[in-house]
């Protein structure tokens, strides 16, 4: 922490021309909120990967979705079971939502394990779930959590 503060102290004295050479500003990829995205847990980055039009446009620890569908591609699931090696075949598809109300009338945590389940299931009951009005996806301590929400 002390090293970090020392670096910050020195940064304010750097001339702008030096900063321009040292810092590269990357253009952010924009998510079109009028088109659906597919969100899956990236096992390597330990973050959610957000895919739109077949391209990953964002990695995040938190995202909210409207009209989520909990999708499992059966061929991919069969391949995981056969090869005992995970691949991207399950995801949440929906529209990115900036803000949701704080208190849902109902909520349930959703999970998927390709070795145990054929679809996404409610964590408490193990009942299959294919959609909900909203969902919040979060990474806590490098573990994914999906919460289906009703308002």
pLDDT at site 5: 42
Q: Is the pLDDT of residue 14 over 60?
A: no
pLDDT at site 18: 52
Domain locations in the chain as residue ranges: 27-150
Which residue did the predictor score with more confidence, 143 or 101? 143
Which residue did the predictor score with more confidence, 75 or 3? 75
43: DSSP letter: T
Q: Among candidates 151, 114, 142, 148, which has minimal Cα distance to 130?
A: 148
Dist CA 74 CA 72 (whole Å): 6
Other beta carbons within 10 Å of 139: 19
Q: Residue 16: pLDDT band by 50, 70, 90 thresholds? A: low
Interior CA angle at 104 toward 140 and 58, to 5°?
Answer: 40
Average of pLDDT values for 91-101?
95
Which residue did the predictor score with more confidence, 102 or 145? 145
Full-prediction pTM beyond 0.85?
no
Provide the b/e sequence for 54-63 (b: ≥16 CB within 10 Å): eeeebeeeeb
- Chain segment 34-70, per-residue pLDDT in tens: 999 999 999 999 999 999 999 999 999 999 999 999 9
């Amino acid at each position: 922490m002390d090293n970090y503060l020392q670096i910050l102290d020195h940064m304010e004295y750097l001339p702008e021309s030096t900063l321009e050479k040292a810092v590269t500003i990357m253009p952010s990829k924009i998510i079109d909120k009028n088109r659906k995205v597919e969100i899956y847990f990236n096992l390597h980055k330990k973050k959610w990967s957000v895919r739109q039009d077949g391209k990953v446009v964002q990695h995040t620890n938190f995202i909210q979705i409207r009209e989520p569908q909990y999708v499992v591609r059966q061929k991919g699931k069969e391949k995981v079971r056969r090869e005992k090696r995970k691949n991207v075949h399950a995801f949440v598809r929906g529209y990115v939502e900036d803000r949701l109300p704080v208190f849902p009338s109902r909520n349930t945590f959703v999970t998927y394990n390709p070795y145990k389940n054929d679809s996404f299931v409610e964590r408490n009951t193990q009942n299959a779930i294919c959609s909900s009005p909203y969902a919040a996806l979060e990474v806590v301590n490098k573990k994914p959590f999906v919460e289906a929400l009703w308002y």
